[in-house]
Structure 1
Amino acid sequence: MDRIILAPLWLTSNRWNARGPMSDKPHLFIILNPVAGHVQADTVHKIFIETFGCNGINYDVYETIGQENVTEIVRDALNRSYSMIVAVGGDGTVSEVANGLVKQDIPLGIVPLGTGNLVARELGIPLTVEEACQLLVGSHTHTLLDVMQIGQHAFVPHISLGIYSQVIDKTTIEEKRRFGMAAYFWRALQEISQQRSWKVTISVDNQKQQVYASLIIVANIGTIGIGALRWGSRIRPDDGEVDICIVQARTVGGYLSTFWHLLNGQPWRAPETLYLRAREEVVITADRPIPVRLDGENFEQLTVRIEVVPRAIKVITPLIHKEKKFMAITAMNPATGEPIKEYKEMTPAEVEDIISSVHVWDPGIC
C-alpha cells in the first residue's frame, strides 16, 4: 500500500481528516489508473479535492503502476473502514477492482476514464469525471451486476473469441478517423480473406453443440463500444445470464449480411448468427488455438471455461437508470410499425413477454 495518496488534511475538518473516525458520510478508497484516457492524473486529483475534500468527505487514493495485484489491494481495503471502493479508469480497471468485490456488500463506484467505458455507458453512469464523482456522493441507487469468471478472475463487459481481437487491434487511429465504421469492416474483410474460422464445441449449461465460428462474443453488456451499436437488444448486466453471439459466416456475402444487420441495430436477425443464453457456465473448445480478448489483453487458447456469477457486484448507478428499463422504451409491432404499449404501463413480466415476441426499439438503453 505504499502508493496511497491521502486527502489533504488542511481541506478537511478534524472529524474528517484522512485518518479520522468514521461517521455517516462515505469513506472512499479510490483506485486510480493514472494513464487511462485523456484526462491528466493531476486534473483528476483536483476534481477529487473539489468534490470530496472540500465537502469534508474522507478519501484515500491508490495510483496503479501496472504491475501490482489490484484484487489483493481491494481485498486489503475491505478489512479497513471504507464504505465504498471506487474504480477510476477504463473497463480493465473496473474489472480488476470488481474482481476483489465479488459477493461483497461494499458498493463499487465507477468514474470512467478509459476510451470505451462500456460498463459506465451501459449503466447510465456519467462519462465526465466531475459528474461521475458527484454521483458517488449524491443521490443514487445500486445495481447488482453479474460478472463472468475465468478461473479466479472476474470480467464485466464481454469476452471475445476469434477475429474480433485482430480487427480491433489492427485498425489504426488514422483509419478510424478517416473511414469511421468502414475501417473496422475493411480489417474484418482482411481477416476473412485468410479463412479464419474455427470448429468449436460449445457447452452452455451442460448442453453441447458443434459449430463453425469466426467470432464468438460472450456478452454481459450489450454495448459494443463502436457508436451506439449493440450485440443484442436483450443483453442486460443484471439479469443473471450472459448472452453468447456466434457469427458463423464463412463467405464475404455472409459477413456483409451480418455487418448490415449489425449496422441496422438487429444483429440477431442475421441468418449467419446464432444466439444462446447461459445461466451457469459456458465452455468453448476449439479445434486449434483461438484468439481470446479479455479487457484489452489478447492471448490464444484451446479451451475457455466461463462461469456466470449472478448479482455479484453492488454498483452505484443513477436513479434514472432503473426507470429507463421500463419507462423510456416503446415496443414496436414489426408488421405495422405502430407502438404497441409503453413500458411504463406494464409489469416487468409483461415487458419480458413483449421482448420475446417482437423487435424492441430501445432509445433509453441503445
Structure 2
Amino acid sequence: MRLGIIVNPLHARTHRAHHRLVTLLEAVHVRYRTVSTTATRTGARQAADLVEWGTEAVVLLGGDGTLRAVAPVLAGSDLPVLIVPTGTGNVFSRAIGVHTVRAGLRLCEEFVHGAARRAAVPVCAADCTDAEGARRHEHFLSLSGIGGDAHAVAGHRREWGLLGYARGAIGALFAPEHTVRIDGESLRVWAVMAAKTSRPAGPIPVFPGAEVTDEDIDFLAVVLGTDSPVARLRVWAGIGTACIGGCPEADPAMRYWIAPAATVTVDEPAPVHLDGDHLGAFTAIEVSTGELLLDVVTPAN
C-alpha cells in the first residue's frame, strides 16, 4: 500500500502525531510519502502531487482549513481520506466521530488493516461576489457564514488557539446587522450561515439535524432586531438558553430552513468565512452542495 500524508506544521502536536503515524506505518511495512503545507501553498498542490505519485489513500494531519484546501482535489481523485485532527477547531473531524489525535491514529491503524468504514461527504460549493463584481469560487465542508458569524472568525487570534475564537466571538456579538436578500426575500439579519454539522461552535447543537453526509444544507438567519447593546445581550441570552436546551429553533431570532442551495445578497460588503477561514468582504454568496463527493474514512462505531 502507498499512503500519502499531508501535514500542516503549525502546531507542535502535528509533529508528534506524524512521528507516531510513521512509526505505525513502518511497523506494518506501508510505503508512505509526507508533504507539508505552507502559508501560500495550503494543500491543493500537495494533494495533487500525492495523487500523481500514486497514493492509494491520504492521511491529513491538520484542521478544517487544511481539509477545505485539499478536499476538491481529493474528491476528484476518488481516494479515501483519513483525518488526524491537529488543528484548532476540528469541527469536521468531531462531526464524523474523530475527536482526538489518538482516535485519528487509531483509525489509521484500523484502515491499514482493512477494518474501517467509509462515507461519501459532499464538498459544498461557495461562489462569492465582491463589490466590483468579481467572483471567487471556493469550497467548504462544515460551515459558511456571512455577516456577524464571519466577524467572529475575522476577529479571532490564531495564536491563541480556542481562546482566540472566543475573543472573536465576543467581539462579534455587537457586529452590525445587514439588510440581505435570501433567494429574493428581504430581511435584516446579524448573519446568515450554512451548516453541514450540528455543532460548528463547540458542544452546543446550533444545527441539531445537520449531518456532513446530507445532500441538503441547513441554513440559519440570525435576526436580532436591535442595535442596543443591552437589548442585544437579552436576545443573545435567549438564544443561548434555547441552544443549551436543545431547541434553538424555538427562539424567534433563529430562523432555519433546509435546502440544496441558497443565494444571499447583502446591501453592503460583509465579511465571509468558510470552515473558519476568513475570505474578506463580499456583497453576495451562493452556496450549494455542489457535485463533488469526498470519500472519508470514519470510525466503525
The interval holding the TM-score normalised by the smaller chain is 0.7 to 0.9
Match of 1:233 among 208, 232, 235: 208
Inter-partner Cα distance in structure 2 for 1:187 and 1:141: 41
Q: Does residue 215 in structure 1 map to residue 182 in structure 2?
A: no
Inter-partner Cα distance in structure 1 for 2:53 and 2:151: 42
Correspondence for 2:79: 106
Match of 1:146 among 119, 122, 125: 122
List alignment gaps of at least 5 residues for structure 1: 1-25, 321-366
Query: What is the SS of the residue equivalent to 2:265?
Result: strand
Contact 2:121 2:294 (C-alpha < 8 Å) held by counterparts: yes
Match of 2:237 among 256, 268, 271: 256
Question: What does the per-residue CA deviation read over 1:269-315, in whole Å, with 9 as the maximum and x for residues that have no partner?
Answer: 11111111122x32110001111112333211001122312671110
Query: What is the SS of the residue equivalent to 1:79?
Result: helix
Query: What is the SS of the residue equivalent to 1:210?
Result: strand
Match of 1:39 among 5, 13, 23: 13
Inter-partner Cα distance in structure 1 for 2:111 and 2:29: 14
Query: What is the SS of the residue equivalent to 2:146?
Result: strand
Q: Does residue 78 in structure 1 map to residue 54 in structure 2?
A: no
Contact 1:28 1:83 (C-alpha < 8 Å) held by counterparts: yes
Inter-partner Cα distance in structure 2 for 1:303 and 1:98: 23
Inter-partner Cα distance in structure 1 for 2:123 and 2:45: 18
Inter-partner Cα distance in structure 2 for 1:254 and 1:73: 45
Q: Does residue 187 in structure 1 map to residue 171 in structure 2?
A: yes
Q: CA deviation at 1:212?
A: 1.2
Q: Does residue 159 in structure 1 map to residue 134 in structure 2?
A: no
Question: What does the per-residue CA deviation read over 1:213-259, in whole Å, with 9 as the maximum and x for residues that have no partner?
Answer: 10111101222232x11222110111201111110112323333222
For structure 1, which segment, 68-77 or 95-104, has the greater mean C-alpha deviation from structure 2 after superposition? 68-77
Inter-partner Cα distance in structure 2 for 1:65 and 1:311: 25
| Seq. identity, % | 21
Contact 2:7 2:14 (C-alpha < 8 Å) held by counterparts: no
Alignment of 1:263-302 (within 5 A): 263-279=244-260, 281-298=261-278, 299-302=280-283
Q: Which amino acid aligns with 1:234?
A: G
Q: Which amino acid aligns with 1:278?
A: A
Contact 1:146 1:220 (C-alpha < 8 Å) held by counterparts: no
Match of 1:50 among 10, 23, 32: 23
Quick one: higher RCO (CA 8 Å, sep 6+), 1 or 2?
Answer: 2
Inter-partner Cα distance in structure 2 for 1:266 and 1:38: 38
Inter-partner Cα distance in structure 1 for 2:169 and 2:241: 10
Correspondence for 2:134: none
Question: What does the per-residue CA deviation read over 1:163-205, in whole Å, with 9 as the maximum and x for residues that have no partner?
Answer: 123335546798x87xx97x777534443xxxx11111112xx
Q: Does residue 242 in structure 1 map to residue 217 in structure 2?
A: yes
Name the TM-score, length of structure 1 as normaliser.
Answer: 0.70
Q: Which amino acid aligns with 1:64?
A: T
- Using a 3 Å threshold, how does the CA distance of structure 1 residues 86 and 69 change in structure 2: closer, same or farther? same
Query: What is the SS of the residue equivalent to 1:102?
Result: helix
| Alignment root-mean-square deviation, CA | 2.6
Query: What is the SS of the residue equivalent to 2:273?
Result: strand
Correspondence for 1:97: 70
Q: Which has the larger radius of gyration?
A: 1
Correspondence for 1:27: 2
List alignment gaps of at least 5 residues for structure 2: 128-136, 227-231
**What is the aligned length?**
280
Q: Which amino acid aligns with 2:239?
A: T
